[in-house]
Amino acid sequence: METFVDAGDGYRLWVETTGGEGLPPLLLVMGAGASGIAWPGELVARLARHHRVIRYDHRDTGRSTRAFHERPYAIRDLAGDAVAVLDALSIERAHVAGMSLGGYLVQLLLLDHPGRLLSAALWGTSVLGGARPDPEIRDEDLPGPDPRVLAMWEQMGQERDQEAELRWRVEHWRILNGGVLPFDTGEFEDLERRVAAHSGGWTASLAHALADRSGMERGGELARVTVPTLVIDAPEDPITPPPHAARLARAVPSARLVTIPGLGHALSRATVSPLADALIAHTRSAGAPGRTP
């Protein structure tokens, strides 16, 4: 089922739900500049055997309102959008999973809306800024993104024709995939064509890169989190490589760290089975949801 949700300040978010309404809800939170369509259909289908799966388009992505230059917002407002989606669907509590920027948003949900979360899962991300010093994994031990990724990001938003844009996006995914799991060019070409069809065009928005990042220095507060949390270590992630995941898991007392061998920063077919298995095992262990009347 597809619908639109009002998130305030004139923003409407495209939302899709898959799976039985009586199943425990699972909200998927995508990364920066990515629409909900970036969640692989095969992964959604696997999760929907056990959950009412909810994926949505962030502001300025997909079919959601694109108005950043007229009504700018902060990254932290995107976490509020996730709550707005739950409210609109009358979901009191949900399992929540986020990758990349979605992982930062899940951390904000853990801090500001713990009563709305049955469990949390996050990967492809790092601990929020301002985390307490860790004697075993120091901040200076955390590597930055691969230089190849940074070089691609310098070209983000440049004007290109459709075919050149498609080639750029697929090459970006090739680097994000890492060097272990197989990379199928056709798979990611199909993904980007679906994203373009869903979005109504090939113009990429830089809104999330330009959004206000204040209020994100809250890593020290993660020490009070009690929501069951799964941190997935993606050992081939070229954006947040090890030991970012281990540092995050150590910052959250309720967290459990699980490694998916070969996982990078892309969701290819090869990742669907191990990722679905890890998420389902985690939500199952966290228990059943509460629902509003």
Distance between CA atoms of residues 187 and 170, nearest Å? 9
Q: Which two tokens stand for residue 226?
A: 């009690």
| Length of the chain (residues) | 293
C-beta separation of 219 from 129 below 8 A: yes
Report in angstroms the alpha-carbon separations of 211 from 21, 67, 214, 216, 254.
34, 12, 9, 12, 30
Can 50 be counted among the known catalytic residues?
no
Of 100, 119, 199, 205, which is the active-site residue?
A: 100
Distance between CA atoms of residues 76 and 114, nearest Å? 15
Cβ atoms < 10 Å from Cβ of 152: 18
Distance between CA atoms of residues 281 and 288, nearest Å? 13
Can 58 be counted among the known catalytic residues?
no
Of 57, 77, 81, 237, which is the active-site residue?
A: 237
Report in angstroms the alpha-carbon separations of 178 from 144, 183, 233, 246.
15, 9, 13, 19
Distance between CA atoms of residues 191 and 197, nearest Å? 10
Can 141 be counted among the known catalytic residues?
no
Nearest to 97 by CA among 250, 251, 8, 228: 228
Pairing of strands 11-18, 52-56: antiparallel
Residues with a catalytic annotation lie at: 100, 237, 265
